[in-house]
Amino acid sequence: MEKYIVEAEEQGKRLDMYISSKDEELTRTSAQRLIEQGDILVNNKKVKVAYKVSEGDIIAVEKQMPKEIEIKAQNIPVDIVYEDDDIIVVNKPKGMVVHPANGNPDGTLVNAIMSICKDSLSGIGGEIRPGIVHRLDKDTSGLLIVAKNDKAHVNMSEQIKNHEVKKTYIALVRGVVKENQATIDMPIGRSNSDRKKMAVTKTGKNAVTHIKVLKRYDKYTLLEVNIETGRTHQIRVHLSYIGYPIIGDCVYSNGKNEFGVVGQCLHAKCLEFKHPITGKSMKLEAELPEYFLEILKKLENEQDGETKKELSKELSNIIIALAKIK
């Protein structure tokens, strides 16, 4: 159960709007349904959807997963980067959902992990998310930590909460980023115009993203990205907001997809953390997926071609200049 205390600047908002702005996973429609079911209480009382919150109100939210979703172990191939008695770290492919939900009842990472680990998974995440410590978007590839027991789960959750886990992503964006390094410190919440999307908004939650240029191409930039917070779609929203949407991101790049990829060019390449039981410093990496490498190879070839043209032009100008001297 999640609990919120309404602050002075938030009073006067409709309850459904207040909840959807606080919980990134709930749309306004979902919030309305929960209010009507009595799963959202104000000061321990059931209220109407149109209720306007007041300063000091205590809002309790109980999100119930649909009972029809039955979690089953499935023999799905998974790239295991590291495994011991306490944690398992996998390299999730793009296109794979992390845990079951409406529209994705199976074929998820959880289904695959249950087949590998059997009953040795932390129960803190509940029946739907056993062992899941953090998440990656469906079409983001890369490293993800799964806890095998409750002690490991609690410790890893604390490390993430205290910003002690360093997450490094690689992203290919449209546009040439001028700054070699930059920090994007802008709050993220649910979009007011499209409740299925996230956006930079004044009423959102604190979100901090650091970017570093790895290579500039003619019309694109390869970035190293580190995040301090883990808001839904954080990297995608931040980069799109400053004018550099991620290649392949059909949600936050105005539908453009010049390379025809399914899913965005965003990869969780490196995780640095302390082992939840031994305390040993760990650094794990996962190479870029093949589709990502193919796009970079194409850009490299194009850039090499342009460089050769420039050199040929410069050489021609030199020859002409020398001829004039004679």
Burial state string for 31-43 with b = 16 or more CB within 10 A and e = fewer than 16 = bbebbeeebbbbe
Per the residue annotation, which of 137, 218, 249, 304 is the catalytic one? 137
Query: Would residue 304 show up in a list of annotated catalytic residues for this protein?
Result: no
Distance CA 195, CA 176 (A): 30
Q: Which helix (H) or strand (E) holds 308?
A: helix 290-325
Please list the active-site residues: 137
